[in-house]
């Protein structure tokens, strides 16, 4: 599928509910469409956590790029897309302080005014270990 670079990517509309300001314990996050509606950008209020999310027609899935101030960074893919109120991304291209690791990031929508972002790392025993969960809400 070819996209017109001047138009928003229609598949990103499934993330439209995320736009706006969200509050988490001790922090806030802002999400907005950028680059002519071709990416969803998110950032925390401490300038330590950035998200860029798009739909890649060649992969037939969503791509999430995350950059944190540790420094850590990664590229996550979701080829299964939304499953109800949940979307799961996995990454084999993630690094923290130069160390590669396998990650899973899940966005779980909990109604119109709440969602969470859970991060997990693949342990040496092959099980996913929860690393962090950010719970966000709108007032």
CATH number at residue 108: 2.40.128.20
Q: Is residue 100 part of a domain?
A: yes
pLDDT at position 55 is 95
pLDDT score of 43 more than 90 = yes
Q: What's the domain range around 99?
A: 10-137
Reported as a pLDDT band with limits 50, 70 and 90, residue 100 is confident
Average pLDDT for 9-29: 94
Q: How far apart (Å, rounded) are the C-alpha atoms in residues 26 and 40?
A: 23
Domain tally, the chain = 1
CA distances from 94 to 91, 100, 104, 131 (A): 6, 6, 10, 14
- Residue 62 confidence class, pLDDT cut points 50, 70, 90: very high
Could you tell me the CA-to-CA distances from 123 to 42, 102, 126 in Å, in that order?
A: 28, 8, 5
The per-residue pLDDT of the chain, averaged, comes to 90
Tens of pLDDT, residue by residue over 116-135, are 999 999 999 999 999 889 99
On whether residue 5 sits in a domain, the answer given is no
**Residue among 105, 101, 67 at smallest CA distance from 88:** 105
User: Quick check: helix, strand or coil at residue 126?
Assistant: coil
Residue 2 lies in a domain: no
Residue 6's pLDDT is what? 63
Model pLDDT, residue 5: 61
pLDDT tens track for 64-94: 999 988 788 889 999 999 999 999 999 977 7
Q: Is residue 58 part of a domain?
A: yes
Q: Is 47 exposed, middle or buried (0-12, 13-18, 19+ CB in 10 A)?
A: exposed
| 1 domain residue, yes or no | no
């Amino acid at each position: 599928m070819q996209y017109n670079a001047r138009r928003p990517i229609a598949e990103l509309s499934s993330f439209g509910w995320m736009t706006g300001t969200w509050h988490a314990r001790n922090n806030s996050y802002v999400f907005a469409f950028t680059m002519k509606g071709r990416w969803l950008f998110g950032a925390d209020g401490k300038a330590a956590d950035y998200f860029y999310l798009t739909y890649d027609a060649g992969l037939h899935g969503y791509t999430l790029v995350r950059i944190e101030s540790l420094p850590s960074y990664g590229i996550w893919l979701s080829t299964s897309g939304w499953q109800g109120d949940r979307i799961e991304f996995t990454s084999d291209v993630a690094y923290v302080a130069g160390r590669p690791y396998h990650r899973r990031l899940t966005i779980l929508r909990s109604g119109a005014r709440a969602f969470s972002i859970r991060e997990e790392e693949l342990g040496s025993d092959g099980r996913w270990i929860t690393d962090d969960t950010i719970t966000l809400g709108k007032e």
